[in-house]
């Protein structure tokens, strides 16, 4: 499809084993936003692309370089994909998808990225642990049940848009739900950079919702304001809600117009549950192993997918609190 322009719309691919990419630069599936993009469906089956090295010769890097739901009634889904590796990139990249675009709906579901990215240069770079950049026009991007463990760093004079889940969104509607970032995001670049644990930037004509997400990665920048959860400056509509962040991981939490029920947590040595009380709605939750709300694994060395449960207080009033299970 990278040569004949066939988008494979409506075709479903299923991965049946791990694939070792051999440590050579990977030519992404879909290399152009105008001619060569992927519009099919891909089920990774929980298998992994191993020894992945991002392309430094293509504008969009990722296992999938460009994914497009071109028409308003078109849906594209990438699910159950895992990837591990290390490298740099030319311009825009994500562990799973470099660029998601179109007027339809692109869904990234239950994917895991453990790709360490180090960039040094003077260009503008957009990178996310799961998706690098969304140019959705009037379309919709949904990222759900995804985890990033990879670190992202930038040096030189380049401008970096880097988020644990998505780097930057432009236009359309972006929804990020039930996702977690464990990777550190740092910039020593002299140019102002936009960094956040979940979503790093969104332009003025875009809408975004971040809900039931966790950031446990440290976020720091020599120039610019790092955010524990999301930088939504300029978004037409921005909501960040029911999400956790590691205490002290960044100088700010979010600048979303609507922010509710977001709490910091700390982790006790040798334990995998929150060590500080959190409050949601009108209810407060404790910290011991019998507490109603427990983070069942803030552990960077875990390689399992996060799964979630909705939890209630003793009166069965749901406050949108996530419970992480299965780690």
Least confidently predicted of 233-242, 252-261, 313-322: 313-322
Nearest residue to 2 (alpha-carbon basis) of 78, 89, 60, 85 = 60
Residue 241: per-residue pLDDT: 85
Instruction: Give me 122's structure tokens.
Output: 């003077």
From CA 155, how far away is CA 88, in angstroms rounded?
A: 12
pLDDT of 127 reads 94
Q: Which residue has the higher pLDDT, 244 or 20?
A: 20
- Which residues lie closer than 8 Å to 142 by C-beta, 6 or more apart? 105, 106, 107, 108, 109, 174, 175, 177
- Position 180 pLDDT exceeds 60: yes
Looking at mean pLDDT, say which of 99-103, 203-207, 258-262 comes out highest.
99-103
Residue 224 CA: distances (Å) to CA of 11, 14, 196, 200, 266: 43, 42, 11, 11, 25
Residues near 261 by beta carbon (within 8 Å), at least 6 away in sequence: 241, 242, 243, 279, 280, 281, 319, 320, 321
Residues sharing a CB contact under 8 Å with residue 49, sequence separation 6 or more, in sequence order: 18, 19, 21, 63, 81, 82, 83, 84, 85
76's tokens: 């594209």
pLDDT of residue 261: 76
* Res 281: pLDDT: 43
pLDDT at 133 over 60: yes
- What is the average per-residue pLDDT within 170-179? 88
Which residue matches tokens 């600048």? 255
Burial class (CB in 10 A: 0-12, 13-18, 19+), 270: exposed
The Cα 140–Cα 200 span in angstroms is 18
Q: What is the pLDDT of residue 151?
A: 94
pLDDT band at 140 (very low <50, low <70, confident <90, very high): very high
Both tokens of 132, joined, read: 């690098």
Share of the chain above pLDDT 70, in %: 77
At 292 the pLDDT is: 31
3-state helix, strand, coil in the chain (%, to 5): 0, 50, 50
Mean pLDDT over 121-132 rounds to 90
| Mean pLDDT of the chain, nearest integer | 79
240/250 Cα distance (integer angstroms): 16
Whether 268 has a pLDDT exceeding 80, the answer reads no
Where do the domains of the chain lie, and which CATH numbers do they carry?
A: 12-265 (2.160.20.110), 268-327 (no CATH)
Tens digit of pLDDT for each residue in 34-45?
667 899 999 999
d(CA 94, CA 116): 11
Q: What is the mean pLDDT of residues 198-205?
A: 84
Query: What DSSP character marks residue 58?
Result: S
* Residues 241-260 pLDDT 10s: 878 888 889 999 999 888 88
Residue 279: partners with Cβ closer than 8 Å, 6 or more residues away:
261, 263, 285
């Amino acid at each position: 499809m990278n040569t004949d322009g066939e988008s494979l719309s409506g075709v479903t691919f299923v991965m049946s084993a791990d694939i070792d990419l051999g440590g050579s630069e990977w030519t992404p599936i879909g290399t152009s936003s105008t001619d060569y993009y992927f519009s099919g469906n891909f089920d990774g089956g929980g298998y992994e692309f191993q020894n992945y090295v991002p392309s430094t010769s293509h504008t969009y890097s990722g296992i999938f370089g460009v994914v497009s739901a071109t028409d308003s009634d078109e849906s594209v889904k990438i699910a159950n994909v895992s990837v591990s590796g290390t490298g740099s990139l030319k311009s825009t990249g994500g562990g799973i998808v470099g660029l998601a675009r179109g007027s339809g709906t692109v869904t990234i579901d239950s994917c895991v990225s453990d790709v360490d990215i180090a960039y040094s240069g003077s260009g503008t770079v957009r990178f996310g642990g799961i998706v690098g950049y969304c140019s959705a026009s009037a379309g919709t991007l949904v990222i759900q049940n995804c985890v990033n463990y990879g670190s992202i760093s930038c040096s030189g004079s380049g401008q970096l848009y880097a988020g644990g889940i998505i780097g930057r969104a432009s236009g359309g509607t972006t929804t990020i739900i039930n996702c977690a970032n464990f990777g550190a995001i740092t910039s020593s670049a002299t140019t102002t950079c936009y960094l956040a644990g979940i979503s790093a930037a969104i332009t003025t004509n875009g809408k975004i919702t971040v809900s039931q997400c966790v950031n446990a990665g440290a976020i720091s920048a020599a120039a610019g304001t790092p955010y524990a959860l999301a930088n939504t400056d300029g978004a037409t509509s921005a909501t960040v809600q029911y999400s956790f962040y590691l205490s002290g991981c960044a100088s700010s939490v979010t600048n979303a117009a609507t922010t509710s029920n977001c709490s910091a947590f700390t982790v006790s040595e040798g334990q995998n549950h929150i060590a500080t009380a959190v409050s949601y709605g009108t209810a407060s939750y404790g910290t011991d192993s019998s507490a109603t709300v427990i983070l069942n694994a803030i552990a960077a060395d875990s390689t399992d997918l996060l799964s979630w449960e909705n939890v209630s207080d003793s009166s069965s009033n749901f406050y949108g609190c996530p419970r992480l299970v299965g780690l």
